[in-house]
Each structure stands twice: as C-alpha cells, then as structure tokens.
Amino acid sequence: MIRTLTITALLLSLTLLTGCGPSDPHEKAVADQIGCMEDITGVLGGVKDGDTAAAAVPKIKAIGERMAQIAKRKLDLGSLDADKAKALAEKYGKRLGELKGQIAAETAKQVLRVDVVAAVANAMKHVISD
C-alpha cells in the first residue's frame, strides 16, 4: 500500500499549495492535486479504528474522483515545455516531498490494524487508480 501511495505521489510530480490559485492552467491543476493530497493526509490522519475507517471511505472515494477529474484536465491541457516543468518542479517539489512523507506515515500507522486496513485499502484503490 505504501509503495502504491509513493507511486501515486510521484505521478503527482508538480505541486503547489491551494489558495487564491495561479492563473496558469497547468499550475492550477497542480494546486488542485496538492489539495487532494492534503485532503487524503487529513482523512487518513483521522482514522483511529474500524468505525473511523468506515467513515473515511466515502471521503477517500470523493477525493479519488476529484483526482481523476484533475488528471483529465491535465491531459486536456497537454504537456508542458521542459523549462516550465522544471520551474514548477523546483518551485513546488519540496511540498511534494512533505506530502509524500505524510501520506506514507499515515498509511504506515494503519498497516498493522486489521480493522482499518480493509476499509481504507479498498477506498484508496479508487484514489490510486484514478
């Protein structure tokens, strides 16, 4: 599960915090992706037992749907030139690393909890596959 989350985070290669938002559509898509990653981190952080895991499932699925919409938007925008991609990676790469670590840490807390793993893992399939 951690490996899958790491791969997902790597696919979300350009990052930025949500807020007022950038005017560039590529940066806006990245901002939305980061928002989803932050939301996943928060939801996973709130999972303490089987009941909270079950309550987290619809939230995780909703975030997965948002991520799929963002991925489609990015495809529709087309690829960035190398200079712009590099600039965005340099600007927001640190945040990506932080979020990857947070997601991995939150996931690792749950790995040995049988009552939580089944519910969260099933929901995370939707996030990762989208």
Instruction: State what percent of residues in the chain have pLDDT above 70.
Output: 71
Entry pTM: 0.69
Domain ranges of the chain: 2-9+22-129
Structure tokens given for 101: 């670590």
What's the burial of 76, exposed, middle or buried (CB within 10 Å: 0-12/13-18/19+)? exposed
Residue type, 58: P
Q: Does residue 98 register a pLDDT over 90?
A: yes
Q: What is the pLDDT of residues 26-55, one digit of tens each?
A: 899 888 989 999 999 999 999 888 788 888
Residue with tokens 């990762």: 128
d(CA 102, CA 95): 11
